[in-house]
Amino acid sequence: MQEKDYINIKDEKIPIIIRSYKSSRYLKMYFKADVLYISKPKYVSMKTTMAFIKENEEYIYKKYKTISKNKDLKSKKWETGESFFYKGEKYIIESENTLENKIQIKFNEENKVVHLLYPFKLGEAERKAYIDKGIKKILKNNTEYLLKEKVPYWSNVTNIQYNDFKVRDATSKYGSCIPATKVMHFSSRLIMLPEDKIDAVIVHELCHIVYPNHSRDFYNWVRKYIPNYDDINKWLKINGKIIMF
């Protein structure tokens, strides 16, 4: 249950969602992206909850400032006119209210538009949280679908065998590898990148199975299959912010 949309602490207007749970035993706070969540037992009053927030204002403020500072882009509000990258192309967001009691997210690949429909009753912070969750689910499903084709393909090309790969929501790394187990992990946001960048990430992680380091031999092996890897790697470092939201 949402109790409040924002709290003001010093110079910051911080999105907040307060929810009550029968199973909760005590007040708890945590951030998801730049949204502050407070979970509380059903019997705890809002007056007590707000006092709890007041007591922790300094921590909340510092944590929020750190999150904001570390983000390359401001958090998306999912409003009409904002942009979003998908398959390496810029999509425009079209957002509107609906009488239906559910959020709908539709990608129009022909017109490069993301249509968002959401119930009138949702507050701004809760609407953002639900859309974030829905978008992340779509990206994860589509990235998994793409990698099920691409990873075996590049495994055959490089003649490097792997045991498994997993997809999870990550913004700090596009991929990682555990050479000992031959298991790779990929960001669910890879589907937001151009296809040649995705290929480079896959080959990079596959080559770590052979070279569990970033030695000269490792990079030479990567360049054997991705000749323009240096240019792609530079592009990824400069444009990594496009996967942030």
CATH of the domain at 184: 3.30.2010.10
- pLDDT for position 70: 59
Give yes or no: residues 146 and 129 share one domain.
no
Say how many domains are in the chain: 3
Using alpha carbons, select from 18, 72, 67 the residue that is nearest to residue 44: 18
- pLDDT for position 3: 45
**Partners of 8 in the β-ladder:** 13
Per-residue pLDDT of the chain (245 residues; tens, 9 = 90+): 344 578 999 988 898 989 898 888 889 998 877 789 899 999 999 999 999 999 999 999 998 888 776 554 456 889 898 999 999 999 999 999 888 888 999 999 999 999 999 998 888 888 888 999 999 999 999 999 999 999 999 999 999 999 999 999 998 889 999 999 999 999 999 999 999 999 999 999 999 999 999 999 999 999 999 999 999 999 998 888 789 88
Give yes or no: residues 221 and 130 share one domain.
no
The b-or-e profile of 208-217 (16+ CB within 10 A means b, else e) is bbebeeeeee
* Phi, psi at 56, each rounded to 5°: -110, 20
Using alpha carbons, select from 166, 173, 158 the residue that is nearest to residue 209: 158
- In a domain? residue 59: yes
- The two beta strands, 113-119 and 89-98, are parallel
| Contact partners, residue 4, CB within 8 Å, separation at least 6 | 16, 17, 18
State the Cα–Cα distance between residues 186 and 140, nearest whole angstrom. Answer: 10
Give yes or no: residues 108 and 27 share one domain.
no
Report helix angle 216-225 to 229-239, nearest 10: 100
Helix ranges restricted to H, the chain: 46-55, 57-70, 124-158, 195-210, 216-225, 229-239
- pLDDT for position 159: 98
- In a domain? residue 202: yes
Q: Which of 70, 91, 116 is the last residue of a domain?
A: 70
Give yes or no: residues 132 and 149 share one domain.
no
> Are 241 and 73 spatial neighbours (Cβ–Cβ below 8 Å)?
yes
Structure tokens at 41: 């037992």
- pLDDT for position 72: 43
Q: Write out the H or E segment, with its range, that includes residue 14.
A: strand 12-21
- pLDDT for position 5: 78
Domain that holds residue 102: 83-136
Could you give the C-alpha distances from 106 to 5, 68, 136, 189, in angstroms and in order?
26, 28, 13, 17
Give yes or no: residues 238 and 147 share one domain.
yes
Q: What is the dihedral of CA 84, 89, 95, 98, to 10 degrees?
A: -120
- In a domain? residue 77: no
- pLDDT for position 242: 87
State the Cα–Cα distance between residues 154 and 42, nearest whole angstrom. Answer: 53
Which residue has 């979003």 as its token pair?
Answer: 84
- In a domain? residue 207: yes
- pLDDT for position 241: 79
Give 103: exposed, middle or buried? Use CB within 10 Å, 0-12, 13-18, 19+: middle
